[in-house]
Chains A and B, each alone.
Chain A
């Protein structure tokens, strides 16, 4: 049995983690009710903890127990300023780590955060370091959310710097999710967030379940670590759930690899470094030959591919995990961030120059009273 720690840091991280809890209640509209009668159903021992400097963001959560919401007091919030955020983490490090320690020992930790905000993006690298220090054998995976590109230069800049910090860490990999890419699922921002969050939550839960499963052909934490260590150590998740109309396992696997079902836009055939395909469903749908054929097809372009098969009543579900050898979309973010920072710098210089010109009018004058 795996001991899993899920930390949602900052507003974005908190809300995705709340979605994980909601998913554990069954997801959908019924989870509101089941919160009052059922226990959240996690495949393994999962401890969740929402960490934030903004108490209002914590209050907004619906499916996370009160004891799993940790407020880090900081006088004026962090205001998207990562330096203030880092200071706030260091000031409260013992308290935060003590709160995590209380929850026992862990094999696997997910740190869920946005890359562009203040709290999550500044806390997460420091937090991951602390986790690595405190738990000798822990595997730490970062779930990093990229911003909408039009959210402004500070967010872009934060994303660029925090992604660099995250990649420099001794961590075991980053799973990327791109808001910009998934924005197409819904019209307004609020429902787009909800949709994106539940997509991420669903994939994470499926992943945990398959890592902990003792069925047929097994994938374990080691396999997962190996996959995430490949390429840039940046990966993403694809998922497909078949329905009554088409129960073909081959189609389900292929669908899980399609860009539309990925959290981050990438071209698997070109960019994948390592992969893991996990198949779940009733035994009659799980044709081993077909699965093997599909896995071999993928291996041809993506190097090594692990496969896992979990027999469980229902139509086929497929989760694909990739480590990427190239991340062009991420590169473009850096370009955009640099441009935005350059623009900002120039604008500032221009403004300063204009102001200096204005000051010139009073250059030789004295105040007269």
Chain B
């Protein structure tokens, strides 16, 4: 292409030719500059999955994964050095943020980014560099061959429902999995169920195999019963184990929150309304109403009445039974009372029923007064003379008014 341009230029006049030649040369220079840059200083990158101790070599740069500092926070520690000792730095890498060394990939150095932390043993690392440095290569460390000896147990605890009401049974599943590379022995799970909101029913304490090979898992199920409403924090399960070198290790599940809803139940209330004081040998009535102010139906309601003292006041039909009283409804009945002896009596009604969470009892009470027969006349003794006096005085007043 250069020759073609030059041929072309020669077929023109000498002044013009000089101009064109200069321009062509200028263009050539620029193009050449560009060509040289894109050919020799192109940046490139590679992704590697590193286990702890693994290394990436790029040119004279050595990058080694030292430690996963925090799986949760996304922190991994790496050591970066350059052959010849100009750079040797150990640094914590925050996941997904680029770290430049010696000016980074844009300069003469490299740029490192932890793109993913796979577990507490491995991470994905991206290295960016100039092609001029050659090709990045992964060097598996010797320590990597010891990896099968590192058991890691992941621990999980879960409830079989996330809506729990008081009285509900909850199945708790505890799962322990060896996600490490070595055998875990002496596995001991220690679980504290949330008290006092729950009570144990069966399967507690959960039994986990004592030994788990890498990749193996075991789970245990136990059943508890929610007994109290409220929002509670379910504590973590703690698992301890030892690796082949008898190092004691432990792990735990994440604690979580759960809400226990109050249970729907029936709630019966009595209201007893006597018609008023009864006079000896007279009768009165007692109106009884049984209202279900709860949320669940009350079933097999048995009402039983009792009068104290047991002699002197009689009532027929205090006892009643209802198959069901729906929430928000009431049942009414009326009982005839007959007084035999003056005094104060207590009428107590007791309702036994099934109310959603088992048997329940409700009592209602009222006072009934039986008055001495004479009282009736005492009233009259008072009222009649007053009436007579008033009437008489008025009559007299009229007689003397002129």
Chain A residues engaging chain B, CB cutoff 8 angstroms: 35-37, 58-59, 61-67, 69
Q: Contact string, B37-65, partner A, CB cutoff 8 A, digits 1/0?
A: 00000000000000000000000000000
Interface residue B392 (Cβ < 8 Å from any Cβ of A): yes
A64 to B396, CA, bound (A): 11
Mostly helix, strand, loop or mixed at chain B's interface? helix
Is the pair B392, A66 in contact by a Cβ cutoff of 8 Å? Answer: no
23 chain-A/chain-B pairs, Cβ below 8 angstroms? A35-B396, A35-B400, A36-B392, A36-B396, A36-B397, A37-B389, A37-B392, A37-B393, A37-B396, A59-B402, A61-B402, A62-B400, A63-B400, A64-B400, A65-B399, A65-B400, A66-B398, A66-B399, A66-B400, A66-B401, A66-B402, A67-B399, A69-B402
Which of A35, A59, A62, A69 gathers the greatest number of chain B CB atoms within 10 Å? A35
Interface residues of B in 368-402 (CB under 8 A from A): 389, 392-393, 396-402
16 further A-B pairs in the complex, CB-CB below 8 A; given A37-B393, A69-B402: A35-B396, A35-B400, A36-B392, A36-B393, A36-B397, A37-B389, A37-B396, A58-B402, A59-B402, A61-B402, A65-B400, A66-B399, A66-B400, A66-B401, A66-B402, A67-B399
B386 to chain A, nearest CB (A): 13
Bound CA–CA A303/B374 (angstroms): 70
Name the distance in Å between B54's Cβ and chain A's nearest Cβ. Answer: 126
Closest 6 pairs (CB-CB, A-B)? A66-B402, A36-B393, A65-B399, A36-B396, A69-B402, A59-B402
Between A36, A37, A59, A64, the greatest number of chain B beta carbons within 10 A of the residue's beta carbon is seen for A36
B324–chain A nearest beta-carbon distance, Å: 69
Contacts of A37 in B (CB 8 A): 389, 392-393, 396
A36 neighbours in B (Cβ, 8 Å): 392-393, 396-397
Chain B's interface size range is 10 to 19
* Count of inter-chain pairs, beta carbons less than 8 A: 25
Query: Cβ of B401: which chain A residues have Cβ within 8 Å of it?
Result: 66
Q: Give the distance to chain B from A56, nearest Cβ to Cβ, in Å.
A: 11
Q: Which of the listed residues B396, B397, B399, B400 has the most CB atoms from chain A within 10 Å of its own CB?
A: B400
Q: Which residue of A lies closest to B389 (CB)?
A: A37
Q: How far is the CB of B240 from chain A (nearest CB, A)?
A: 106
Contacts of B392 in A (CB 8 A): 36-37
A350 to chain B, nearest CB (A): 47
Q: CA of A67 to CA of B402 in the docked complex: distance in angstroms? A: 8
Please name all residues of chain A whose beta carbon is closer than 8 Å to the beta carbon of B393 when the two chains form the complex. 36-37
Q: A66: which B residues are within 8 A, CB to CB?
A: 398-402
B265 CB, min distance to chain A CBs, angstroms: 70
CB contacts (< 8 Å) of B398 on chain A: these are: 66
Q: How far is the CA of A62 from the CA of B401 in the complex (A)?
A: 9
Distance A355 CA – B265 CA, assembled complex (angstroms): 122
Residues from chain A with a CB closer than 8 A to the CB of B402 are 58-59, 61, 66, 69
The chain A residue sitting closest to B396, CB to CB, is A36
Q: Once bound together, how far apart are the Cα atoms of A66 and B399, in whole Å?
A: 6
- Expressed in whole angstroms, the minimum distance between the Cβ of B226 and any Cβ of chain A is 82
- Residues from chain A with Cβ under 8 Å of B400 in the complex: 35, 62-66
Nearest Cβ in chain A — how far from B115, in angstroms? 117
Residues of A within 8 A of B389 (CB): 37
In the bound complex, CA of A3 to CA of B84 (Å) = 164
Determine which residue in B396, B399, B401, B402 has the highest number of CB atoms from chain A within 10 A of its CB, and name it: B402
Most interface-central of A62, A63, A66 (chain B CB within 10 A): A66
A65 to B396, CA, bound (A): 9
Task: Find the B residue at minimum CB distance from A21.
Answer: B400
**Chain B residues within 8 Å of A64, by CB:** 400
> Complex formed: what's the CA distance from A368 to B38 in Å?
166
- Give the residue name and chain of the A residue nearest to B394 (CB): A36
Minimum CB distance partner of A64 in chain B: B400
Contacting residues, chain B, for A35 (C-beta < 8 A): 396, 400
In the assembly, what is the distance between CA of A89 and CA of B396, in Å? 31
A62 to B398, CA, bound (A): 12
**Residues of chain A lying within 8 A (CB to CB) of residue B399:** 65-67
The B308-346 residues at the A interface (CB cut-off 8 A) are: none
CA distance A67 to B398 in the complex (A): 10
Q: How many whole Å from A319's CB to the nearest CB in chain B?
A: 29
List residues 97-138 of chain B with CB under 8 A from any CB of chain A: none
Q: How far is the CA of A126 from the CA of B36 in the complex (A)?
A: 172
Residues of B contacting A65 in the complex (Cβ-Cβ under 8 angstroms): 399-400
Bound form: Cα–Cα A59–B399 in Å: 13
| Closest A residue, CB atoms, query B393 | A36
How many whole Å from B390's CB to the nearest CB in chain A? 10
- Report how far A98 CA is from B393 CA in the complex, Å: 30
Task: Name the residue of chain B whose CB is nearest to the CB of A67.
Answer: B399
CA distance A59 to B396 in the complex (A): 16
| Bound Cα distance from A317 to B138, whole angstroms | 155
Report the Cα distance A64→B400, complex, angstroms.
6
Determine the residue in chain A with the shortest Cβ distance to B401: A66
Q: Which residue of chain A is the closest to B399 with respect to CB atoms? A: A65
- CB contacts (< 8 Å) of A63 on chain B: these are 400
- Give bound CA distance, A59 to B78, whole Å: 131
Instruction: Looking at the assembled complex, report how far the CB atom of B315 sits from the nearest CB atom of chain A, in whole angstroms.
Output: 49
Report the separation of the CA atoms of residues A65 and B401 in the bound assembly, to the nearest whole angstrom: 7
Instruction: Please name all residues of chain B whose beta carbon is closer than 8 Å to the beta carbon of A61 when the two chains form the complex.
Output: 402
For B396, the chain A residues whose CB sits under 8 A away are 35-37
Distance to closest chain B CB from A150 (angstroms): 32
Q: Which residue of A lies closest to B395 (CB)?
A: A36
Shortest CB–CB separation between residue A159 and chain B, in angstroms? Answer: 29
Q: How far is the CA of A37 from the CA of B399 in the complex (A)?
A: 12
CB distance from B153 to the nearest CB of A (A): 109
Residue of B nearest to A62 (CB): B400
**How near does chain A come to B361, taking the closest CB pair, in angstroms?**
64
> What's the Cα separation between A64 and B398 when bound, in Å?
12
- Find chain B residues with CB under 8 A from A59 CB: 402
The docked-state distance in angstroms from the alpha carbon of A66 to that of B397 is 10
Inter-chain CA distance A239–B400, complex, in Å, is 30
Complex CA–CA separation, A282 to B80 (angstroms):
148
Complex Cα–Cα for A63 and B401 (A): 10
In the complex the two chains form, what is the Cα distance from A66 to B400 in whole Å? 5
Q: A350 to B67, alpha carbons, bound, how many Å?
A: 161
In the bound complex, CA of A65 to CA of B399 (Å): 5
A58 contacts which chain B residues (CB < 8 A)? 402
- What residues on A are CB-neighbors of B397 within 8 Å? 36
Shortest CB distance B266–A (Å): 67
Q: Which residues of B contact A67 (CB under 8 A)?
A: 399
Nearest B residue to A58 by beta-carbon distance? B402
Minimum CB–CB distance from A158 to chain B (whole Å) comes to 27
Chain A nearest CB, measured from B261 CB (Å): 78
Chain B 194-237 against A: per-residue CB contact (8 Å), 1 yes, 0 no?
Answer: 00000000000000000000000000000000000000000000
